[in-house]
Amino acid sequence: MENCQILFPSSASSSSFPPFHLIAPFSNNMAPPNVLTNFHQNRNGLLGFKTGVDNQPSIDNNTSPMERTAAGSENEMKPGKKKGEKKVRKPRFAFQTRSQVDILDDGYRWRKYGQKAVKNNKYPRSYYRCTNQGCNVKKQVQRLSKDEGVVVTTYEGIHTHPIEKSTDNFEHILSQMQIYSGY
DNA sequence: CGACTTTGACCAGCGC
DNA sequence: GCGCTGGTCAAAGTCG
pLDDT (tens digit per residue) in A4-61? 444 443 333 333 333 333 332 333 333 444 343 333 333 332 333 445 444 333 333 3
Residue nearest to nucleotide B10 (CA to C1'): A78
Residues 136-165 of A with CB within 7 A of strand B: none
* Residue A80: closest CA among A65, A90, A63: A65
DSSP state of A3: G
A124 domain-assigned: yes
Is the shortest CB-to-strand distance from A110 to strand B under 7 Å?
Answer: yes
pLDDT for the residue numbered A99: 66
Domain count, chain A: 1
Residues 79-98 of A with CB within 7 A of strand B: 81, 87
**At a CB cut-off of 8 Å and minimum separation 6, what does A12 contact?**
none
Mean pLDDT, range A150-172, rounded to an integer: 70
Give CA separation, A24 vs A18, A27, A32, A44, A140, in Å. Answer: 10, 6, 10, 21, 22
Structural domain of residue A119, as residue ranges?
Answer: 92-179
A150 domain-assigned: yes
pLDDT above 60 (res A159)? yes
For the question of whether the overall pTM of this predicted structure is more than 0.95, the answer is: no
A100 domain-assigned: yes
A60 domain-assigned: no
DSSP state of A28: G
pLDDT above 80 (res A145)? no
Q: Which residue has the higher pLDDT, A144 or A82?
A: A144
Per residue in A62-117, pLDDT (tens digit) is 333 333 333 333 333 334 333 334 455 567 777 777 766 666 666 788 899 999 98
Count of C-beta atoms within a 10 Å radius of residue A31: 24
A120 domain-assigned: yes
pLDDT above 80 (res A152)? yes
Checking each nucleotide's C1' against the CA of A4, the nearest proves to be: C6
CA(A43)–C1'(C12) in Å? Answer: 44
A148 domain-assigned: yes
Q: What's A110's domain CATH number?
A: 2.20.25.80
A53 domain-assigned: no
CA(A110)–C1'(B16) in Å? Answer: 38
Query: What is the Cα–Cα distance from A116 to A150, expressed in whole angstroms?
Result: 18
pLDDT above 60 (res A161)? yes
pLDDT above 80 (res A142)? yes
A83 domain-assigned: no
